[in-house]
Amino acid sequence: MPSVSDILQTMDYGPAPEATGEVTAWLKARGSFGHFIDGAFTKPGQSFTTSNPATGEALAKVAQGSAEDIAAAVKSARAAQPGWAKLPGHERAKWLYAIARHIQKRERFLSVLETLDNGKPIRETRDIDIPLVARHFYHHAGWAEMLADEFPGAAPVGVCGQIIPWNFPLLMLAWKIAPALAAGNTVVLKPAEYTPLTALAFAEICAEIGLPKGVVNIVTGDGETGAALVAAEVDKIAFTGSTEVGRAIRKVTAGTGKKLTLELGGKSPFVVFADADLDGAVEGVVDAIWFNQGQVCCAGSRILVQEAVADDFTKRLKKRLKTLRVGDPLDKSTDVGAIVDPVQLTRIRDLVSQGEAEGAVLHQSDALLPPTGCYFAPGFFTNVAPANVVSEVEIFGPVATVTSFRTPDEAVELANNTRYGLAASIWSENINLALDIAGKVKAGVVWVNATNIFDAAAGFGGYRESGFGREGGREGMREYLSEPLVKAKPEARAEKPDAAPIPGAPSKGAAPIDRTAKLYIGGAQKRPDSGYSYAVMAKGREIGLAGLGSRKDIRNAVEAAHAAKGWGGATGHNRAQVLYYLAENLSAREAEFAATLKAAGSPNPAAEVATAIRRAFYYAAQADKFDGAVHSTKSAHVTLAMPEPFGVMGIACPNDAPLLGFLSLVLPAIAMGNRVVAVPSQSMPLAATDLYQVFDTSDLPGGVINIVTGPRDELAKTLAQHDDVAAMWYCGSPEGAKMVEAESAGNLKVTWTLANRDWIGPDGQGRAFLTRATQVKNIWIPYGE
């Protein structure tokens, strides 16, 4: 007679289907859906069919949105926004609370509807997605309640256009709509073409609770509908989707003044050290790449295993792969459901075939796939070359790569060998090692001994080509608020630098001693690559020459800035000391700089120098005080929100206030640990170039500040295009601002195009500069036994 343990080893899972009667009846009663605009559904016009990817069965007809539909939705949102924003925070909080409660009361209905429309297993929608949706609305009801206290002086952005993907349809809706409404904005949201049904069910909930008309508008459709929303008269675009589409949105929105957040693709590393709990790490892989069929932007698709345990880990992974249950998403015992659409399934198959053709070895589950529907057996690759397509391209399917490494440094190098930077997962029983690696990987979210954990209280978003901006928590709320308005100050017109001599330039008395300012690169004065200089004019006469910088000079300056990477690893106290020394040395030469500014025609040279000194003291003080937070998220975890420097930043300075405008932008950037390549005032660069000796006597490491003089917009364009520049600030003309934003789309660098202002006044400094000089990394650390 078999023992109980033998029976448990051989038992099969019986079918455990989830009932669909309520959802089926709901779909049948409606048949087709219009858009939700101004608090009501429109009559369906041109439409398309949304289907169940597990069976191919048609679920409903959904309206195809046009530019006119988008315009009507934006008009409704615009009309509703002032009244919604004027509501006390407590009143908005009650509406968000009502939404959260109604979602909770329909959790099972929404879970089944999501599974039918998307193909993900019911246990994921039931246990993860829909509870998190309710959590986001509860959390942001709290933000609405305390907004005035926590963000004093902030105002809503206005009307927000939001575009969400198909992998987490209702959760992505909650990520975007909840903070927008809490901040006092109104929204026009376009759900994904493949998965619009839960968004339409959410619209019914909004109508059911009596949410004011126009606060939430939902327009369904394909990519053309999304493009119409991007082009519409909205104040913000929030997009989650592919990097390619995000790059196109960055170009289209350049110069429009629209606030923009992008959450894009990823190729996230999953790093396993030799001392890790290997069984725990194997289960982590299940959650990292086979969760939601691998259709997760932060999926741990690149598994990096230390060489000493690589063979053992791979054997365990193969064994675990064989136990995965692939099949009907409505079965409560299913681990891996259906791919969202035949188009996505074809893409996965093509990339996997290409990876095999390039030499990678595929290990795949031998689970029997259903005869119909969009299914792909989960698996992973070994013997993967770094240049193999599956090492570089986001597959967005249930397939990972496994690569070995020897040392922690090699692990970091492999982890960062990608154009993305969304997430990472670190596995080690040595907490010191885990946190050391967490600080070195270039990713916006890092999980230690865990993966794919989300909470409304923690920010989520990426570095590099994974986009910019955050969703969730305090960081996410900030994205839906506008900063206090700065009174713009018109710039003095700058003539294009000319290397030719100036005919008839008057001279008085003996020929003056030549004053030719060189460039400042890597801590040394350098002649421009062109060999040319241009005349610096003041009051109609030449007062000196400055180097005429070029593309190659920018390239050299960027290389020097990268070589000074130790600056970012220095403590805030150490950086503060250097800034204090800088202020001290500038103070010792206060009269000299005031004379230079007076000769250049500055209206108030003494005040400009005095303010520059005070500004250096201010950012020295902030260097070790601008810090992060510990977010209150899930139990058994500490979630650290840590501001990190971007690395190398480009800064194009205003033509006005040649000393103060320069230092007001450069100082906060370096105080936060960045290295900068700065283009000073085009017309009067000598005030900035006179700082070289101040830098040299202030213990400033070479390469932390690099200065290239010349035509601001031409040099700014080169910086914006440079793939090794991580962020770009520009203060200049509207045309120049548009150019910088458009050219930054190449590597999707963060940009800040700010207006010229009264640099001596309070608008010339503040925490906003420090916030803009950092990006937040959220690190999830296990807490407790």
Residue 628 burial by Cβ neighbours in a 10 Å radius (0-12, 13-18, 19+): middle
263 is catalytic: yes
Query: What does the block give as tokens for 436?
Result: 């050391």
Residue 354: count other Cβ atoms within 10 Å of its Cβ: 14
Residue 34 burial by Cβ neighbours in a 10 Å radius (0-12, 13-18, 19+): buried
Residue 109: count other Cβ atoms within 10 Å of its Cβ: 16
For 135-150, b where at least 16 C-beta lie within 10 A, e where not — what string? bbbbbbbbbbbebeee
Alpha helices in 37-129 (DSSP H): 67-86, 89-105, 107-118, 122-124
Half-sphere exposure of 485 (CA within 13 A, CB side): 5
Query: What does the block give as tokens for 273?
Result: 């050290």
Give yes or no for a contact between 484 and 153, defined as CB atoms under 8 angstroms apart: yes
DSSP 503: T
Give yes or no for a contact between 291 and 168, defined as CB atoms under 8 angstroms apart: no
Give yes or no for a contact between 688 and 658, defined as CB atoms under 8 angstroms apart: yes
Catalytic, out of 114, 145, 263, 743: 263
Catalytic, out of 160, 206, 297, 298: 297
3-state secondary structure of 162: strand
How are the residues of the chain apportioned to helix, strand and coil, as percentages rounded to the nearest 5?
Answer: 45, 20, 40
**Which of 67, 306, 102, 362 shows the shortest CA–CA distance to 208?**
102
3-state secondary structure of 31: coil
For 216-260, give the secondary structure using H, E and C: EEECCCCHHHHHHHHHCCCCEEEEECCHHHHHHHHHHHCCCCCEE
For 299-359, give the secondary structure using H, E and C: CCCEEEEEHHHHHHHHHHHHHHHHCCCECCCCECCCCECCCCCHHHHHHHHHHHHHHHHCC
613 contacts: CB under 8 Å, gap ≥ 6: 583, 586, 587, 590
What H or E segment, with its residue span, contains residue 175?
Answer: helix 169-183
Q: What is the spatial order of strands in the sheet that 58-63 belongs to?
A: 32-33, 58-63, 47-51
User: What does the chain come to in residues?
Assistant: 785
User: What dihedral do alpha carbons 146, 147, 152, 153 form, nearest 10°?
Assistant: -150
Could you identify the residue written with the tokens 């660069």? Answer: 685
**Which of 173, 218, 169 shows the shortest CA–CA distance to 195?**
169
Residue 161 burial by Cβ neighbours in a 10 Å radius (0-12, 13-18, 19+): buried
d(CA 483, CA 153): 8
Q: Which amino acid is at 37?
A: I
What is the separation of C-alpha 606 from the centre of its chain, rounded to a whole number of angstroms? 41
297 is catalytic: yes
User: The dihedral of CA 547, 548, 553, 557: what is its sign?
Assistant: positive
Residue 775, CA distances (Å) to 344, 464, 726, 732 in order: 32, 11, 11, 24
What is the separation of C-alpha 91 from the centre of its chain, rounded to a whole number of angstroms? 31
User: The dihedral of CA 226, 228, 231, 236: what is its sign?
Assistant: negative
Give yes or no for a contact between 239 and 261, defined as CB atoms under 8 angstroms apart: yes
Active site residues: 263, 297
